[in-house]
Amino acid sequence: MADNINTFKVIDNNVWAVSNNYVSRYEFGDSTLEKGTFDNECPIHSLFVSEIYGKSKPLSIIGSDDSKLKILSTKDLLYTLPVNSAPTFIYPMKQSSYDYSDNNYLFGTRSGSHGILNIEKDSAKILWENNININMSDVVCLRSVDINLDGQNEIILARSNGEVNIFSIGQTILETSLISKYETKEVLTGFDVGKFKPDDDLEIMLSSYSGLVFSLTPKSNVKEKNKKPIDKKTFTKNFAELSNEVDTLRNLISKKNEEYEKQLNQAYNPINKNPFKINYKFILLNEEANFLFTIDSEFPIEMIIMQSVVNMDLQEVITKDVGVNVISDEKSKFIATLKLKESIHQVEMKLRTYEGISDSLSCTIIPYNKPKTAYVLEIPIKSLSLHKKIEESDEIVKNNISDENNLNVLNIKGKFNASEINQILSLILPDVPEKLNKETAKYMMQSTFLHTIVEINLENNICQIKSNYLTPLIIIKVNHIN
């Protein structure tokens, strides 16, 4: 059974489809032909396809979970460029409506940074990246559009926490400056720019997780200046008319509410499903050794109850106006309740887990809806949850692993395939894929808390794990290999 399509892009008679770790190109005509599939070995969060000057075939740019932008020619990886966090959105960068170049691309990441990728005939590079290591809310969409109609494009950037930023572009694309920041209470999922109302300016039409579609229109200063002041008589007349209108609308709302309540009482059946959408992110922040836990809900959240056998600390609740209570008992090392105000659709908090045992964080979300319903999330917590995958070439690896005398070594020998032991390790360490298609593998992991290194070498019948710290080896041996 194939996985669901997360995103896709169509150019002429070609389609590029992304599904979890894979991006495939298909050509359609008399029949649909698969032209190649690229296995990224970790989830893909964003895709853009473009015909770049000097390249014979369209190139696809993907945002990979391992914090890299990858440029592909169908199934061949051409360039890999590291960025601050997993890229969540990619879009062409144009300086003005007369800019026809295809070489610059805007990208936004999960940790809130954004930047420009430049692709030339024989090279690719990141020109700049802003807001690195600040950990802002993730970028859900960004575009370069002339929103204030001054002849020069602006960069419009939307974050999932409801923030919309506008950046002006200077003489070159290397200079940008923030010119506007608009905050909404919605959990944003994307936007498009167009003209929805007749005789009006361009609008930024935003979509939200709660299903609300709303627009932001730039206020025209010219229109405001040309407005004539109204006299007292007209003001009183307008005020009376508007008051009447508000009263009529209030009555209408209360009538509709009564109708809705009646319908609910009639149709209420405990077997009936009352589904609502919940989305969550549980991302390790490398600099802080904390998890950024974000919950997005279709309905406003009333209460969240978190419980886990794994010991953990609630470091910070980023969302404002949340009442928090944390307790622990013999059975559950961590129990926390969060009480929220009525209009909150997104909750952000920072959690630090204690390494040692594998279990899960059970999270019950109760929204403000009728009839009362709840959603239960089970978030797996791995034994060495604060570890992250690093490259072998990193300076820190050379310094810590080079001295063989200071290393602790765990050798596992027996009759097993590399894929079997890989599957066990995937339950202990993050960033280790569940499936291994090779007969050998090597992983370098670093603890974000203690900065110690774990090196894992896998082959058929042998697995060697080295570390300059004993505890990870003991955790692997005692909890999983015994």
Site for other proteins in 291-310 (CB under 8 A): 298
Tokens (6 digits) for 159: 């974050």
Q: How far is the CB of 42 from other proteins (least distance, A)?
A: 16
Q: How far is the CB of 10 from other proteins (least distance, A)?
A: 5
Residues 118-147 that bind other proteins (CB under 8 A): 134, 140-141, 147
**Whole-angstrom distance between the N-terminal and C-terminal Cα of the chain?**
35
Residues 8-47 that bind other proteins (CB under 8 A): 8-12, 15, 17, 19, 22, 24, 26, 28-34, 37
Alpha carbon distances (Å) from 333 to 77, 254, 309, 326, 328: 45, 46, 5, 10, 5
Task: Say whether residue 353 binds other proteins (CB under 8 A).
Answer: no
Task: Say whether residue 460 binds other proteins (CB under 8 A).
Answer: no
| Greatest pairwise CA separation for the chain in angstroms | 94
Alpha carbon distances (Å) from 395 to 388, 391, 400, 402, 456: 15, 9, 9, 11, 18
Cα–Cα dist 149/193, whole Å: 13
Q: Is 197 exposed, middle or buried (0-12, 13-18, 19+ CB in 10 A)?
A: exposed
Residues 161-180 that bind other proteins (CB under 8 A): 164, 166, 168, 177-180
Of 32 and 411, which CB lies nearer to other proteins in the complex structure?
32
Options 209-217, 319-327, 349-357, 468-476: segment touching other proteins (CB under 8 A): 209-217
Q: How many residues bind other proteins (CB under 8 A)?
A: 73
Angle value at C-alpha 481, between 477 and 482, nearest 5 degrees: 85
Task: Say whether residue 205 binds other proteins (CB under 8 A).
Answer: yes
292 within 8 A of 322, measured Cβ to Cβ = no
Q: How far is the CB of 371 from other proteins (least distance, A)?
A: 19
Which DSSP string corresponds to 311-340?
A: -EEEEEE-SSSEEEEEE--SS-SEEEEEEE
Residues 46-85 that bind other proteins (CB under 8 A): none
For the CA atoms of 32, 33, 36, 37, what is the dihedral angle to 10 degrees? Answer: 40
Task: Say whether residue 210 binds other proteins (CB under 8 A).
Answer: yes
Task: Say whether residue 274 binds other proteins (CB under 8 A).
Answer: no
Cα–Cα dist 472/467, whole Å: 8
Of 79 and 276, which CB lies nearer to other proteins in the complex structure?
276
Options 77, 149, 213, 230; binder of other proteins; rule CB under 8 A: 213
Residues 180-199 that bind other proteins (CB under 8 A): 180-182, 184, 189-198
Of 6 and 408, which CB lies nearer to other proteins in the complex structure?
6
Task: Say whether residue 280 binds other proteins (CB under 8 A).
Answer: no
